[in-house]
Structure formats: C-alpha cells, structure tokens
C-alpha cells in the first residue's frame, strides 16, 4: 500500500525545526513539531516561549511516494532510522505527545535506552489508562516511555494516580 500514510521522524539541522516545518507546509506535507511551553525569566521580564520538545526532530505524516520530496527539503538531514529503514512512529505516540504537551509546561525529554522494571498504569490525569514500564520513580516524577523514538518524557504525576499492574496484566501493555 504505497498510498497509506504513516508517521516518520525527520532529523533536521540544529535549530532548524521551525524552518523545516514552514518549508514542509509550503510543500503541503503534513507535519508536527511538538512545541514545549517554556517560562523564561530575565532580570527585567518574564516571557512564555515555544521551543521544540525534541531538538532537531520533526514528525511527518506521509506516503512512501512522499519520502523523497520530504527528504529533499532544505534543513532535513535524514529520516530517523530503525533497523536500516525509516522508523515508523505509531499514531498513539503522536497523540500521547500532543496530550502531554496540552497538560504540562516546561516538559523535559532525555534520550534514554529502556531498562524495564515494574509495569504501571496511570489512573488519573491526561495519561489515564496508559501502561508502561517504569524507568525511575522519585517523589512525584515518573518517566513515560515512547519506545519507537527512544525518548522518555518526564512529568510530575501524583503517586496516588499510579497503580502497579500484575505480571499477567502487563502482557497486554499499551506501551
């Protein structure tokens, strides 16, 4: 199915994410650059800024045929690869990022390889019903894993809003 659209991640030149989005828009290529609301404070003022959540990443929703046109966009270095092919990003992960950014400010991401511990399910908040493997839990902070792009998003989640899932239930994990 060459006409089936899928989400892919592009790796861009440093600090070119917004420029690449504008160029992709001109080509009518559906794209998404998650922007994080960051509160900046200087000695004389405060300001809310919108910065790319993933540095040098832009997501595109394209068909096989659109890959070359997308790749030939100024500022695009290459597709993010997985096992020798452009990595396909699941729709649920794009939706999760969008939901996450609607609910939280000053989100941090860190490039992290996953080491599995307990399986948890979030029972309250924007990530309600989401299951995943816990990397680390501090007082109120939990890492949520997006495995196909290799990043962990970090947000403060109330400890009482998380429940441990039994080993049998973890086999049906949504991660």
Residue 24's CB is within 10 A of a number of other CB atoms, namely 23
Report the DSSP beta bridge partners of residue 163: 121
Q: Is there a contact between 58 and 8 (Cβ–Cβ < 8 Å)? A: no
pLDDT at residue number 136:
66
Q: What is the pLDDT of residues 81-130, one digit of tens each?
A: 877 889 999 999 999 899 888 888 777 775 543 233 566 766 777 767 66
pLDDT at residue number 116:
35
User: Tokens 């650059």 identify what position?
Assistant: 33
| CA–CA distance, 108 with 119 (Å, rounded to integer) | 22
Residue 170's CB is within 10 A of a number of other CB atoms, namely 18
Domains of the chain as residue ranges with CATH: 6-89 (3.30.70.940), 93-170 (2.30.30.30)
pLDDT at residue number 137:
60
Answer yes or no: pTM beyond 0.85.
Answer: no
């Amino acid at each position: 199915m060459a006409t089936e659209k899928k989400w892919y991640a592009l790796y861009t030149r440093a600090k070119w994410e917004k420029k690449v989005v504008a160029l992709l828009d001109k080509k009518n290529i559906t794209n998404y650059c998650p922007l994080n609301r960051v509160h900046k404070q200087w000695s004389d003022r405060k300001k809310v800024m919108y910065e790319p959540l993933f540095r040098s990443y832009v997501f595109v929703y394209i068909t096989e045929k659109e890959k070359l046109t997308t790749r030939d966009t100024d500022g695009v270095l290459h597709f993010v690869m997985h096992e020798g092919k452009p990595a396909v990003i699941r729709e649920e992960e794009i939706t999760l990022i969008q939901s996450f950014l609607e609910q939280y400010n000053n989100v941090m991401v860190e490039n992290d390889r996953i080491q599995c511990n307990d399986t948890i399910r979030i029972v309250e908040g924007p990530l309600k019903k989401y299951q995943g493997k816990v990397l680390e839990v501090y007082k109120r902070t939990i890492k949520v894993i997006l495995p196909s792009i290799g990043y962990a998003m970090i947000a403060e989640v109330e400890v009482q809003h998380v429940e441990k899932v039994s080993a049998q239930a973890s086999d049906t994990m949504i991660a």
